[in-house]
Amino acid sequence: MAISVRDAFSRGYIITSRAPQETKDFIDRFLGDTQLSNYELRAELNDDTSAEQGRLSIWTCPRSNISSMRAPDADGNFVLVCGFVLDPWGKETDIDRIQEELLERLKESRERFLSGVDDLSGTFFIVYKDNGRYFILQDAAGMKPVHYCVDGQGERFVSSHEFLNKTFAKKGEDRFVKGIFDLAVSLGQASAYVPGVRTLTKDVLKLTSNTELCLNDLSVRRFYPRRPLRGAISFEEALETFSETLRVQANLLSSLNRTLRVAVTGGLDSRVSMAAFTDSGFANVKFFTYNNGRDLQSDTDAARALCARVGASHETFDLAEDRYPTGLLNIVPGLKHQSPLPVNPRVMAMYNECFDQSDILIDSYVAEIGQSFYRLSGQIPPDVPTAQNMSQLWSLKVWNNPDSIALMGEYIKKTGFKNVEGYDWRDLFYWEHRNPKWASVRASECEMSVDVCIPYNNRRLLEVALRLPLETRRSSELWRRTVDVLAPALSSAELV
């Protein structure tokens, strides 16, 4: 299947204060014709703070799942949900019913509304109105990106893709940030990505997890954690909650009668995701592994053996260059300009060619938030969230660089980052900084072709893991025992 520029921004969105006709003209020029991939005007919102700034308009790709558009009620309450979303605690998959529940909660209080947001899994953003101002927030780990800037005419522009901001607002490269990024790459930093809230495009910032962006003035405020982390949880209670929530999510996904493409390797995180589907008998489930040239054959063999243990089929996709050419990046130049580097064009092409648009991809990243990633990796700076300590966690290669330290200082100020009682600040930093800046690109690779659901991408579920003692989290015992509960046949297989 041929890939066009329009396809590259499937399931994306644009929110702007520019006039709707002006926005449409830009979309038509950049995204091409009026076929399926063209963005559509989904909502016009009154901007109460400034008559001069006019309205906000929201544009999404027709492939995006979006809740019904409703004008703010008499009290000014408004909620719009866009993306793939489900509520495992309320056992709900319908986006309109999820929207209605959030709206009812918002009528009671902002705290009740945000508590409802914490319950949700998926890859999505939510726009809501609070005290006459509109805000946008993301799924738990920021897998649905939010980039924002002001253009030369003072108009606000918010979008899913940095390149849309760069093109629409006519922004150039941020040479200061590019210098730090290139230094990290040159020194061999694996999975290099831009530190802080900046991007490779000048004046374009990226929203981080657990913060929300005011669409009226592009200010940022923190909404999570809203209170100290509850006290330690017993392992038995954590295991019951964790395993049951994952099982419920798997059953909800199976009930949608769509093909579920579950990525599986020989590792532990994907094994837990795989185990969750045993209760549903693997209805509509297709397990797969791709070899991107870096993965060992033993990993693919282990995934195939796991599927054989539970009587499930398994597919392997070999990302050979002759089948999935890297020239995709020349077709879609905007994908070159981003952090982290590189987007894997063969993975994108594989999803586009081999999966159907109605499929749902189930992947297992984000889990490391609950496994004390920075403690596991040996990156253990002092117990104070300073800019220098954050720079060390970002990169052991260039951690003492004054420019990267400055960017982290900016990050602390912009996001309101601070110690919260009960949380290890390193866990929160990994959650809020690395995931939306690095892991979200993996979701973007997929969203060009399919909806994406990450079972661990749920604030309440992550809280359960974070309430366990450090050594329990470091050992991944919760994940191991969850496999025992959900699919004992997978427990004894060796990890790769």
pLDDT tens-digit series, residues 45-64: 875 554 444 589 999 988 88
pLDDT (0 to 100) of residue 294: 57
For the CA atoms of 214, 218, 222, 224, the dihedral, rounded to the nearest 10 degrees, stands at: 60
d(CA 269, CA 271): 5
d(CA 88, CA 98): 11
pLDDT (0 to 100) of residue 240: 97
Domains parsed from the chain with CATH numbers:
5-169+204-222 (3.60.20.10), 235-368+437-490 (3.40.50.620)
pLDDT (0 to 100) of residue 35: 43
Q: Nearest Cα to 264, choosing from 275, 253, 278? A: 275
Taking each helix axis from N to C terminus, what angle separates 268-276 and 297-309, rounded to the nearest 10 degrees? Answer: 20
Q: Nearest Cα to 263, choosing from 217, 315, 222, 221? A: 315
The values of phi and psi at residue 214, to 5°, are -80, 120
pLDDT (0 to 100) of residue 192: 74
pTM score, whole prediction: 0.93
Ranges of residues in the chain with a pLDDT under 70 are 1-8, 31-38, 47-54, 190-191, 292-296, 320-343, 377-379
Residue 195 tokens read as 């530190």
pLDDT (0 to 100) of residue 324: 64
pLDDT (0 to 100) of residue 34: 41
